[in-house]
Structures are given as C-alpha cells and as structure tokens.
Structure 1
Amino acid sequence: MAQKIIAFDADDTLWHNEPYFDEAQERFCALFQDYASSQEILGLILNHQVKNLPLYGFGIKAFTLSMIETALNLTEHTISGKGIEKIIAIGKDLLEKPVELLPDVETVLQELKGKYKLVVATKGDLKDQHRKLHDSNLGVYFHHIEVLSDKTELDYTKMLNRLDCQPKDFVMIGNSLKSDVLPVLNIGGTGVHIPYHTTWEYEKIDFEVKHENFIALTNIKEVLNIL
C-alpha cells in the first residue's frame, strides 16, 4: 500500500473509552431505579443524545446534558438541585478517568512513525480529547490532530483538503464502521476496522460492509501487515 497519511480514531482504538460510559450509565440508572427500568432509562438517554447531536455534538459534556434532560423527564421536572449535582458528578468523574492504552498501540505507532504521516481523527470534546492525548504520551507520534464535530463524508473531505491529501492516499483506522470506515470508503479512501468489545448503540450498523478498499482486522498489531 502506498498511502501517505494514516489516521487513527482515538476512543476505543488507541485507548479504552466506552466502558467508562457504560459505568456512568449504570450509576445513572441506579439513581433513578425507582422511576423506570434500566433498559427504559438507557433508551431515554440515547434518544436525548441523538436528538441533541446537532446542538451539542459528541463527548462527555453532551452526554452529561443528555443525562440531565433524561432525569427531568423521569422525575417530571421535580428533580432537586442535589439530584442534578449527582448527575454532574458522574460527568466530572468521566472527565477525570485515566487514559489506558489498548495493547500494542505504542508498538505500532513506533513502527509507523517516519514512514507515514500519522494523524489522529476523532470526535468528542476538544479539551477532553487533547487531555487524553497528552496523558497518553502518544502526541509525539502524530503529525496532526483533528477533533471533528462529526465524521461524515464532508468532514473527512475538509480534513483531507487541510492536509493536502487525496482520498486515494488516505487510510482511516478505527473501531466504528459507521464513523471510521463507511464515510472514508465513500470518498475513495481506505477504511480499516478494528473492533472493540463494546460499541455505543449510535455507532452500530445492521449490514455487512463489502468494498474493495475495506480491510477488517482483529487487533491493531495487524496494521503492520497491511502497510
């Protein structure tokens, strides 16, 4: 492969992330277990998150606001200030979670650095993603950091224009078929999928990806076999 730019998703590709959100939602469900079942509560949170994406985007702060809106619904707007405070505490705890790298991530980056222009292309809160990159000590490997408001075909096209890169010279590696693979394939790039053991409902798709530029791997170390 002769691609010039290799981009990595961050959350659940370079480091663990989704399990922290799962834990936060469990805490939230415990707070409101007298109002609805966990399944119903999780459905409400997801509905608010999806509805709020055009306003809040992705990330912990948006998730926290969606939890607060869910609490207002569940309690019919009778939740106390103390109750809101407990929800905010869940969000703050998420923002202070340690960064735990996934296996072999740094080994792969060490091998690729200098051979390709490496990029981080991720969604979420700008400040939080920069914090995680700093705490991970991975910043030294990357030429460019992009925290995108979304990962649509247009978002990738704009990023590649900023990087002066043609889609055919671009590889995107990530755990989400919906965000990291499909849009990149649609603009003419190469999409590499490395699954994570748990996936946010919003990022799931219900069909098989078939494309000549699609590569499915089982772990990040296998990236070295295709580049």
Structure 2
Amino acid sequence: MLTTIGFDADDTLWQNESFFRLTQDRFTRLLADHAKADHLAERLEAAERRNIGHYGFGVKGFTLSMIETAIEVTEGRVPASVIAELIAAGRDMLEHPIDLLPQARATVTTLAADYRVLLITKGDLLDQERKLAQSGLGDLFDGVEIVSHKTEAAYRAIFARHGTGADQAMMVGNSLKSDVIPALQAGAWGVHVPHGLTWALEAADPPTDHHRFHAITSLGDLPDLVASLQVGRNS
C-alpha cells in the first residue's frame, strides 16, 4: 500500500542544471585564451569529481571547482579579474529566481490530498532552503529533508521517520543515480522523470528489470501512475 511520496527538487520541481550550464559557458568564455572548451569541460568535471567529497553538492562547490580549474589550466597565472568574475558568477547562481517546471505545483497539490508528500533533496542547506521558500511549494509538504547524499540508508531512515516505511513509499526524480536506484534498493517505488539536461556525475543506466521501477515523460503523468498502482493493488 502506497502511503508516502517523496519528490526530488532540482530539475524535478524547478530548473537547476540549466543555470549550471549557463555559468559553465561563462567560465569557458573567460578562459578561452588559455584552453579549448572541451578541455576545460574535462578539467572542470575532474575537479568536481575530486571535490564532491569535500564540498558536497551545490553552487559553492561548483564555484570552487571552477576557480581551481582556472588556476590549473593557466598554471597559476589566472588574472585576479577572472577569479572575481567566477565568484560573481557563483553569487549570481545563488540569487537566481526559482523557475518551476511545468505541472510541478498541480502534481504535488493533487497528490498531497491523499498521501504524505515529502521533499527530499541534497545540496547546500541554505541554498536549498532559499529555493524551497521562493518556490511557494513549502506548505504542501509534510516533511522536508536536505541531505548530503541520497543513499539506500538515507531513504530507509527518511521514509521510516516521515511515513510508514520504504516498502510503502515512492521516490520521484530526474536522477536515476540519486533519486531512483537507491530508493529501489531501500524497497520503495522509484519513478524517473527525465529532464533535458543531466549532470555527468548523475548518469546511470535505468533499472528496467526492477518490478518497482517506472518512467514517465512528465511530472503531470504521476497522479495517473499512482492511481494505476493502487488499482493494481486492489484488483
């Protein structure tokens, strides 16, 4: 019996990766005289992979990785003006207004009438709290969890704390690696809602052979999927 539905935030309820891509384009232009775009992209991704354990997910870690990459590719000769531009770019990301994805509000509102709905997101605490407040969705959720990493253990604990256990819960999100696979491992349903842009560090193969895995084309399809699962349980 499904009682609890968890929603990812970034690129599931509101836009996020598009702002990172725009900032990375800005980073590429700033360093165009020092390295080619594809080389810069490779070095930046490598820096993010190295730093994720130190800085975590979010804008601040991304900004520090851009600065580190700029120092590396210029062999320490990066102008102070470029560093200042990268810091300003990171600040712009932290101040960017929230852009809800289509049907986000309607879907959460519909399901909140019959289920416990949770926001389960990872990243910088202050930034995620800011985005939730600006989204106008905060009052719809029965619980909010901002975690460092989305793991099987984290989902088990969250669904036990806010619901009736992982086996009666569903996790919905755009990331197979963070939102779907560990939720399935915890015993929940995992629903993938693809986004047009996916960060390389979130790439994973869809677990199509798992009986609790589902994929939908848009968030607006979720209420019908939930209804079909309940019908199947009662039939």
Q: TM-score range by the shorter chain?
A: over 0.9
Q: How many residues align?
A: 226
**Deviation per CA, 1:143-167, whole angstroms, max 9, x where unpaired?**
1111110112122223234325311
User: In structure 2, what is the equivalent of residue 210 of structure 1?
Assistant: 209
Is the Cα–Cα contact under 8 Å of residues 4 and 159 in structure 2 kept in the other structure?
Answer: no
* In structure 1, distance between residues paired with 2:224 and 2:205: 28
User: In structure 1, what is the equivalent of residue 151 of structure 2?
Assistant: 152
Gap regions ≥5 residues in structure 1 = none
Q: How many Å apart are 1:53 and its aligned residue?
A: 1.1
For structure 1, which segment, 191-200 or 74-83, has the greater mean C-alpha deviation from structure 2 after superposition? 74-83
User: In structure 1, what is the equivalent of residue 12 of structure 2?
Assistant: 13
* In structure 2, distance between residues paired with 1:154 and 1:32: 41
User: In structure 1, what is the equivalent of residue 22 of structure 2?
Assistant: 23
**Deviation per CA, 1:97-150, whole angstroms, max 9, x where unpaired?**
111111111111221123111100111111111111111100010011111101
Is the Cα–Cα contact under 8 Å of residues 207 and 213 in structure 2 kept in the other structure?
Answer: no
User: In structure 2, what is the equivalent of residue 131 of structure 1?
Assistant: 130
Change (3 A) 1:207 1:118: closer
User: In structure 2, what is the equivalent of residue 102 of structure 1?
Assistant: 101
User: In structure 2, what is the equivalent of residue 33 of structure 1?
Assistant: 32
Q: How many Å apart are 1:37 and its aligned residue?
A: 1.1
* In structure 1, distance between residues paired with 2:153 and 2:66: 29
TM-score, normalization: structure 2? 0.92
User: In structure 2, what is the equivalent of residue 223 of structure 1?
Assistant: 222
The sequence identity of aligned pairs, in percent, is 41
* In structure 2, distance between residues paired with 1:199 and 1:224: 24
For structure 1, which segment, 59-68 or 154-163, has the greater mean C-alpha deviation from structure 2 after superposition? 154-163
* In structure 1, distance between residues paired with 2:80 and 2:196: 36
- Residue type matched to 1:115 in 2? D
User: In structure 1, what is the equivalent of residue 59 of structure 2?
Assistant: 60
User: In structure 1, what is the equivalent of residue 181 of structure 2?
Assistant: 182
Q: Secondary structure at the match of 1:171?
A: strand
Gap regions ≥5 residues in structure 2 = 227-235
Residues 37-48 of structure 1 correspond to what in structure 2 (within 5 A)? 37-48=36-47
Is the Cα–Cα contact under 8 Å of residues 176 and 206 in structure 2 kept in the other structure?
Answer: no
